[in-house]
Amino acid sequence: MRSKAATIRCQIDELFDLHYLDFDQIHGVEPPGDVLIDVDFGRSGSAAKVKEWLERKPDDAKVVVAIDRTSHLQSIQARALGATDILPRPLDPKALIKLLLGDVDPSDRIAASPGVGEALESLRNIFESTRVGKPLDMAAIDSTGEAVIRRMEEYGLGSWLDIVRRHHGQTYQHCLIVTGVTVAFAQHLGFSRSDQRRMSLGAMLHDIGKARIPLAILEKPASLTAAEMAAMAKHPEYGLEALKTAPGVSGELLDIVTHHHEYLDGSGYPHRLRGSEISDPVRIVTICDVFGALIERRAYKPPLASARAYEILLEMGSKLDRDLVREFSFARTVQFEAAA
């Protein structure tokens, strides 16, 4: 039978830089920035020793303590240790990932915003389910598109960007931006309601493969090294692997997920497609993806204004569909808060 530590390692080892310590080893090392504790409170002196060890932890460290689901006493003991969060046994890896990622909007502005809140919840489910190997609820994800469409019709793209650019997580922020920009572009192009929903679904899932990228790379607050860039470039193929056996996934959706980093001149990845090998839906999402990356807020670079981001699309020339880029000019006048 696998130990508890081995079970936890199997569930989250690819996402975090993990170090496992037995109870008797803790005093030989300094506490890290995030700690998951599963300790036998009935063991003599265990709580006092753990509390003493945790007094050396960084001030902003997360301390997650596992307890028996029905034990009020263990809950009190965990808080006395200095737990910032408590999870019941058996540990739910999705809940643990959410706590360690700090995936919370303190102001609740994102979650409470019509359309944006639904899209954020769908993205959370998409990434959390993919990380732990659970099937996606494709019907629920698809239905989110209608909420995004209504939001865009009522408030416009600028309002959407003002809200989603406040999310601290780079990946969620990017996916929300690309989803909103894609729906706004589809509306500008006069797409039918059903086609708008298809494009919304493709945009929401386009980076699903990033669920398999280590978080140290995915959320790194600095430019990536060449090796890290190579690892990141695997995400389209990971996305295909995650979706190709899922029921109800169209070929068009798989195409978007796999090829949204392909360029018309053959310089993209992962398959170096050229010209007519790249479908129209992929061309649309690629433009929105590049634009989104340019205007999003990151720790190591300021966001570009929409007009400057559009100029860069023009400067990319033969890499992108020139006719679609010309139509995308509506986005250069979108106003959003520069310091969001």
Interatomic CA distance for residues 133 and 129, integer angstroms: 6
How far, CA to CA in Å, does 157 sit from each of 13, 108, 150, 163, 187?
38, 20, 11, 10, 11
Of 168, 278, 152, nearest to 221 by C-alpha is 168
Q: Is residue 340 part of a domain?
A: no
Domain range for residue 68?
4-101
Q: Is residue 231 part of a domain?
A: yes
> Same structural domain for residues 189 and 166?
yes
State the DSSP string of 256-288: HHHHTT--TBS--SSS--BGGGS-HHHHHHHHH
CATH of residue 71's domain is 3.40.50.2300
| Chain segment 7-57, per-residue pLDDT in tens | 656 656 555 556 667 777 777 777 776 788 887 777 767 778 888 888 887
Q: Is residue 149 part of a domain?
A: yes
Q: Is residue 338 part of a domain?
A: no
CB 278 within 8 A of CB 264: yes
Q: Is residue 136 part of a domain?
A: yes
Q: What is the pTM of this model?
A: 0.74
> Of all helices (H) and strands (E), which one includes residue 185?
helix 170-188
| Chain segment 55-65, per-residue pLDDT in tens | 887 776 778 88
> Same structural domain for residues 125 and 229?
yes
> Same structural domain for residues 225 and 324?
yes
Interatomic CA distance for residues 203 and 175, integer angstroms: 7
CB 283 within 8 A of CB 246: no
Interatomic CA distance for residues 238 and 269, integer angstroms: 13
Confidence (pLDDT) at 1? 33
Domain's final residue, options 45, 69, 101:
101
> Same structural domain for residues 26 and 170?
no
Does pLDDT of 306 surpass 80? yes
